[in-house]
Structure 1
Amino acid sequence: MTWYFLLLAVIAAERVVELGVARRNSAWTLGRGGVEHGRDHYPWMVALHIGLLAGCVLEPAVTARPFVPVVGWTALALVAASQVLRWWCVRSLGPYWNTRVIVVPGTPPVRRGPYRFPRLRHPNYVAVAVEGAALPLVHGAWLTALAFTGANAALMTVRIRCEDTALRQPATA
């Protein structure tokens, strides 16, 4: 189980890096007249992601479930794929990527990277959903996977509605 805890530490460190990127990008977009939307749901999103990592640590430790190779390795591959997709999104959005919803009025939508596929409107959220379901399953934390997936689905309903509304705001907003 030590390697699993190391994996979780790497994922937690990645979140810290993401927050640094988001902070830099927030300053950049706000400096260009960006407007933040959806502040009310943001603390819930932070709490959910902290809860995911906590559940990934606690559930396997408390239940002492064994590593099941076919599930664990498949879930690990999905975690890796979600990381590739997430960082492709970050790179494609450049300074517009953020953990918050900040829109610079009058800026056209990004249409590169995974955002060039019109049917995949929110690829970063696909990465979050896949990672949130798969990361706990790497070491059998299926209760955490279920809880995160349900809570994330509810939160993403709010988040995507907020983001879509913000992106439709007129250029003078």
Structure 2
Amino acid sequence: MFFLIILTFLVIQRLIELYIASQNERWMLQKGAIVYGQKHYPYMIILHVSFFLILIVEVVLSGQEPTRFWPILLGTFFLLQLARYWVIFTLGKYWNTKIIVLPGADLIEKGPFQYMKHPNYMIVTLELLVVPLMFQAYITAILFFFLNQWMLLIRIREENQALQQNLAGDK
């Protein structure tokens, strides 16, 4: 039941985020924004959908109970969610699951961005570890940690190039 609650929370959260992202994308494109990284984006979707599917399979097939450390991992999970919302609220209409850049806009350097350049990627990386570890899904944790790192190598490179080419101020 605990697994189902966490899984349902994550799926609903992701669907809401996709809705917000689509609204933000529409607004940004109306303002003249440019979409980058369209080649890797479908693979990123496959990666994240596969995470949920593999997690479900591993947890259900293994029949594992949550780890005895689940309270610590659950607390970490909720802190990660707060950090995720901090990123989303800080970026506002500029937040998206895609790489969309409005030429001439200022680089956002407040909120979590004053501490690191890509905080959401750190949050996602930690979440891809914490959730499976909470349910002793070690294969999922290891597999998707490395798959996500591979995806981030591609994505961060493209995002940095897009930002450098299009944003105002110091580049």
Q: Which amino acid is the alignment partner of residue 68 of structure 1? A: T
Alignment correspondent of 2:35: 36
Structure 1 window deviating more from structure 2 (75-84 vs 139-148): it is 75-84
Structure 1 window deviating more from structure 2 (57-66 vs 32-41): it is 57-66
Superposition deviation, residue 171 in structure 1? 5.9
Alignment correspondent of 1:148: 144
SS of equivalent to 1:105 = coil
After superposition, the Cα gap between the structure-2 partners of 1:105 and 1:36, relative to the gap in structure 1 and judged at 3 Å, is same
Cα RMSD over matched residues?
A: 1.3
Alignment correspondent of 1:129: 125
Contact residue 91 and residue 108 of structure 2 kept, 8 A: yes
Superposition deviation, residue 65 in structure 1? 1.9
Q: Which runs of 5+ in 2 are unaligned?
A: none
Report 1:1-173 matches (<5 A). 2-70=1-69, 72-117=70-115, 120-170=116-166
Contact residue 105 and residue 166 of structure 2 kept, 8 A: no
Contact residue 73 and residue 130 of structure 2 kept, 8 A: yes
SS of equivalent to 2:49 = helix
TM-score with structure 2 length normalisation?
0.94
Equivalent-residue separation in structure 2 for 1:170 and 1:8 (angstroms): 38
Superposition deviation, residue 85 in structure 1? 0.9
TM-score with structure 1 length normalisation?
0.93
Q: Which runs of 5+ in 1 are unaligned?
A: none
Equivalent-residue separation in structure 2 for 1:142 and 1:73 (angstroms): 17
Aligned length: 168
Q: Which amino acid is the alignment partner of residue 141 of structure 1? A: A
